[in-house]
């Protein structure tokens, strides 16, 4: 299941970004992520429900614990070089040009796998000793 490796990579990248923003390598003052939005192409070979499950597991003991994962599906599209037609590939993908019948020259969308947005919450707080 490669969705787990994807989820772990997303968590790692978001944690790194939080630490850079906070200027804190320990993560003590880094903001916690409330939600992460991923753009996932329908031709990327990723199962969104599996990715959501793996994301929840990958967030444990991280700055993303409790964060929601939103998945935006990007439809597959192809373009034919000979006749310049553009079409939705669908699932399973239809890679033959509906206008002239030639093979698709280029997939123009549908293989995306990117972090589109992170919504941040309050910084993680470390316990501070009480003053007497």
Kindly report the CATH number assigned to the domain that includes residue 35: 3.30.2320.50
Give me the pLDDT at residue 31, please: 86
Q: Is residue 89 part of a domain?
A: no
pLDDT at 127 over 50: no
Using DSSP's 3-state secondary structure scheme, residue 92 falls into coil
Site of tokens 């939080």: 18
Q: How far apart are the first and last CA of the chain?
A: 53
* Residues tagged in the binding site annotation for Zn(2+): 80, 83, 97, 100
Q: Is residue 21 part of a domain?
A: yes
* Residues tagged in the binding site annotation: 2, 80, 83, 97, 100
Q: Is residue 96 part of a domain?
A: no
* Residues tagged in the binding site annotation for Ni(2+): 2
CA distance 55 to 49: 10
Nearest C-alpha neighbor of 115 from the set 43, 22, 33, 40? 40
Q: Is residue 129 part of a domain?
A: no
Q: Is residue 34 part of a domain?
A: yes
Structural domain that includes position 22:
2-75+108-123
Q: Is residue 86 part of a domain?
A: no
Q: pTM for the complete prediction?
A: 0.80
Binned at pLDDT 50, 70 and 90, residue 126 comes out as very low
Domain count, the chain: 1
Average pLDDT over residues 41-67: 95
Average pLDDT, the chain: 88
Give me the pLDDT at residue 129, please: 44
Q: Is residue 84 part of a domain?
A: no
Q: Is residue 48 part of a domain?
A: yes
pLDDT at 16 over 50: yes
Binned at pLDDT 50, 70 and 90, residue 64 comes out as very high
């Amino acid at each position: 299941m490669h969705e787990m490796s994807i989820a772990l990579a997303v968590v790692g990248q978001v944690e790194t970004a939080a630490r850079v923003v906070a200027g804190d390598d320990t993560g003590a003052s880094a903001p916690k992520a409330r939600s992460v939005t991923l753009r996932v192409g329908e031709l990327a070979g990723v199962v969104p429900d599996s990715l959501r499950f793996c994301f929840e597991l990958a967030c444990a003991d991280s700055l993303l614990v409790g964060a929601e994962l939103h998945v935006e599906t990007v439809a597959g599209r192809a373009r034919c070089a000979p006749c310049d037609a553009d079409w939705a590939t669908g699932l399973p993908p239809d890679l033959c040009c509906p206008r002239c019948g030639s093979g698709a020259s280029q997939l123009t969308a549908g293989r995306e796998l990117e972090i589109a947005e992170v919504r941040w919450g309050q910084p993680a707080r470390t316990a501070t000793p009480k003053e007497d």
